[in-house]
Amino acid sequence: MKKALVAVSFGTGYIQTRQKTIEAIEEDLKKEFPERIFYRAWTSAFLRRKVLENEQLQIGSLDDILREIHDEGIRDVLIQPTQMADGREFKEIRKQAALYAGSFETLSVGRPLLSREADIRDMAHVLESLFDWIKKEDMLVFMGHGSAEMDANPYRQLDACFREDGFAHFTVGTAEFEPGFSPVMDRARERDPVRIYLSPLMVVAGDHALHDMNGEKEESWASRFSRAGYETESILKGMGEYRPVRAMYVQHAKEAVCLQEDYDQ
């Protein structure tokens, strides 16, 4: 029986960060599941149109891809999202998968990066190791995207893990929704660091990283910290560039197959 693997991402219009992040995750997934035919889907219609216009690159929606897979006679499908959290976008992916409940013999959906307490703990350890060069007199601020409709808030949980592990000089805020920017500014005032490092807690270093975190506009995080008197430095690397982070996505896909964790659980 032919089998399919679908990597579902939000997408990005930045070619270089796409190659280093989304495509790197896809390559790792393909290596783990060589027996599966690989497909790519993006959830953002705007970005699908943008790359088609700018690069003549055709990328389908999840609905497009699932219809294509079905028409090709494949009946075993594994979907692995590259979303960070179990929020609105991931829930929409599950809803789309549910529409095909009767179309495939097996349809499994892996979980996003930070969907369980164990994931958040693992992510904390990964980040503590990757950024262990940050001195305790400095501070590392992660900017997550944030999401609506989350059952729990992984960003606050991740911040709590850093504190428990003795990494109170690491902290997490979000560009949208909760917890926002205020908690990271409060932590800076509490700690009075020598330097503040800024890093996107997002798969790609796209618009949010380049403009909302690092941009020159008044409301960017770098500008707000600078006005408050802090020296800042931005680390413009998406989470998909880090091999241990990509390995977590691969593990989630493996669990989805082994435990048959699909859309309706």
Encode pLDDT of 143-177 as tens digits: 999 887 787 899 999 999 999 999 999 999 999 99
Question: Per-residue pLDDT tens for 68-109?
Answer: 999 999 999 999 999 999 989 999 999 999 999 899 999 999
The whole-number pLDDT of residue 215 equals: 79
The tokens of 195 are what? Answer: 């330097």
The whole-number pLDDT of residue 260 equals: 63
- By CB atoms closer than 10 A (0-12, 13-18, 19+), residue 164 is exposed
| Model confidence at 191: pLDDT above 70 | yes
The whole-number pLDDT of residue 204 equals: 96
Q: Which residues are catalytic?
A: 145
DSSP 209-248: IIIIIT-SSTTSHHHHHHHTT-EEEE----GGGSHHHHHH
pTM of this prediction exceeds 0.75 = yes
DSSP 115-143: -SHHHHHHHHHHHHHHTTTS-TTSEEEEE
Q: Are 10 and 62 in contact (CB under 8 A)?
A: no
Q: Are 242 and 21 in contact (CB under 8 A)?
A: no
Span(s) in the chain for CATH 3.40.50.1400: 3-113+242-259, 117-202+204-237
Q: Under DSSP, is residue 22 helix (H, G, I), strand (E, B) or coil?
A: helix
247/198 Cα distance (integer angstroms): 23
The tokens of 18 are what? Answer: 């796409």
Phi and psi at residue 215, in whole multiples of 5°?
-65, 170
Domain 3-113+242-259 CATH (choose: 3.40.190.10, 3.40.30.10, 3.40.50.1400, 3.40.50.720): 3.40.50.1400
Which class is domain 117-202+204-237?
A: alpha beta
66/43 Cα distance (integer angstroms): 13
- Max intra-chain CA distance, the chain: 62
pLDDT averaged over every residue in the chain: 94
CB-based contacts of 193: which residues, under 8 Å, 6+ apart?
137, 138, 139, 169, 230
- For 214, how many CA atoms within 13 A lie in the half-sphere containing its CB? 16
The whole-number pLDDT of residue 150 equals: 80
The whole-number pLDDT of residue 155 equals: 96
Integer angstrom CA distances of residue 108 from 45, 227, 252? 24, 48, 11
